[in-house]
Amino acid sequence: MAGLVLNDIRKAYGQVEVLHGIDLDIREGEFVVFVGPSGCGKSTLLRMIAGLEKITSGDMIIDGQRVNEVPPSRRGIAMVFQSYALYPHMTVYDNMAFGMRIAKESKQEIDRRVRAAADILQLTQYLDRLPKALSGGQRQRVAIGRAICRDPKVFLFDEPLSNLDAALRVATRIEIAKLKESMPETTMVYVTHDQVEAMTLADRIVVLSAGRIEQVGAPLDLYERPQNLFVAKFIGSPAMNIIPATIATPGETTRIDLRGGKPVTVPVSTEASEAGRAASFGVRPEDLTVTTGDDYLFEGRVSLVEALGEVTLLYIEGLSDEEPILAKIPGIFRVERGQTLRFTADAAKMHLFDADGQTYRR
């Protein structure tokens, strides 16, 4: 299989530039997931890798070969679309074999590859059926099987689970995870807007915003050490709470004044010249705990309670300009709407961002 290198990749439609110099090195056998809000350029970037969109400038290298002008059929790419794109009049077997027949592979080789892919994806019993006789999840597995049969250098997935209901999405996500385990040397690039898909499937996540890469890293690295406010709020569900703050005492550990709370010492380093500067304090909902003592982080009024059984979500108002602060308390927590509670958090779970939204270093 092959690695993939993107050097200063740009894409413009007329005078409108939608990708602004993407640099990325995807290693052989890696499962990389592109995430970002709608319109950030993740699907455009995937289509450029596939050759379905022209590259405005930059170099795209697959398996050591520059492929900017190489047509899609000769790039060694297999793409799985969200719409399945199966031929309705063909059986599962014929859908999976179609690409190989076009390439004039032998009947024996076609049969070997189809049956091997069907075995991996648990489709053997459905090979004689038409797509209309299959569930949505089974159809998506057929589309994946068709890609496997082509024996590509790189697999591309364009939101393959977005058309499935919640239960099928979970089942098919598990199938894709098993597929990756069974093909450890295969390079895969996956586009999704789903946090769970990204966190559970990826070796590395690429977070995109407005045509630029915000951060690249392992899922838990992005979750625990976001480089900026955008990544902090985008990775994780529910999103990280952000509270306005002011730097009171800079240093190796920084003292801040927190709106609606007490002065807080955060284990991050800031410069001496930054005293009095605005900052943003971040803490994830699951890292907040309720306290009754005087050693608390902040207090606020409960505006809404969502009792979900396994967790209780508390919405706290009066601390942020944008939206209520959310606390995610394990199990059943009984509290009345309108009650004032105090919250604390482990200092190691606290984050601090400067006025430009960049993370202060630890």
One domain for residues 206 and 253: no
One domain for residues 188 and 213: yes
**CATH number of the domain enclosing 291:** 2.40.50.140
- The answer to whether 249 and 293 are in contact (CB under 8 A) is no
**CATH number of the domain enclosing 133:** 3.40.50.300
- Of 315, 314, 308, the closest CA to residue 331 belongs to 308
Final residue belonging to a domain, choices 211, 233, 255 = 233
Provide the domain limits for residue 157: 4-233
One domain for residues 123 and 104: yes
One domain for residues 171 and 314: no
* Domain assignment present for 358: no
Q: How far apart are CA 174 and CA 16, in angstroms?
A: 39
pTM (2 d.p.): 0.90
Count the Cβ atoms, other than its own, within 10 Å of residue 231: 23
Q: How far apart are CA 306 and CA 171, in angstroms?
A: 27
> Quick one: DSSP state of residue 20?
E
* Domain assignment present for 359: no
One domain for residues 218 and 247: no
In degrees rounded to 5, what are phi and psi of residue 278?
Answer: -70, 150
Return the pLDDT at 219.
96
One domain for residues 218 and 244: no
Q: How far apart are CA 118 and CA 96, in angstroms?
A: 9
Q: How far apart are CA 205 and CA 191, in angstroms?
A: 10
Give the side-chain half-sphere CA count within 13 A for 336.
3
* Domain assignment present for 309: yes
Least trusted range by pLDDT, from 214-218, 266-270, 317-321, 322-326: 317-321
Return the pLDDT at 1.
53
One domain for residues 83 and 202: yes
14 membership: H or E segment, kind and range: none
Final residue belonging to a domain, choices 175, 200, 233 = 233
> In the structure encoding, which two tokens stand for residue 311, read together?
């967790």
One domain for residues 102 and 9: yes
In degrees rounded to 5, what are phi and psi of residue 181?
Answer: -65, -35
pLDDT tens digit string along 138-155? Answer: 888 898 888 888 888 899
Least trusted range by pLDDT, from 11-20, 89-98, 264-273, 340-349: 264-273
One domain for residues 246 and 221: no
One domain for residues 32 and 87: yes
Q: With H, G, I as helix, E, B as strand and everything else as coil, classify residue 355.
A: coil
> In the structure encoding, which two tokens stand for residue 4, read together?
């993939």
Final residue belonging to a domain, choices 181, 210, 233 = 233
pLDDT tens digit string along 42-72? Answer: 999 999 999 999 999 999 999 889 999 999 8
pLDDT, the chain, mean? 90
Q: How far is CA 284 from the centre of its chain?
A: 18
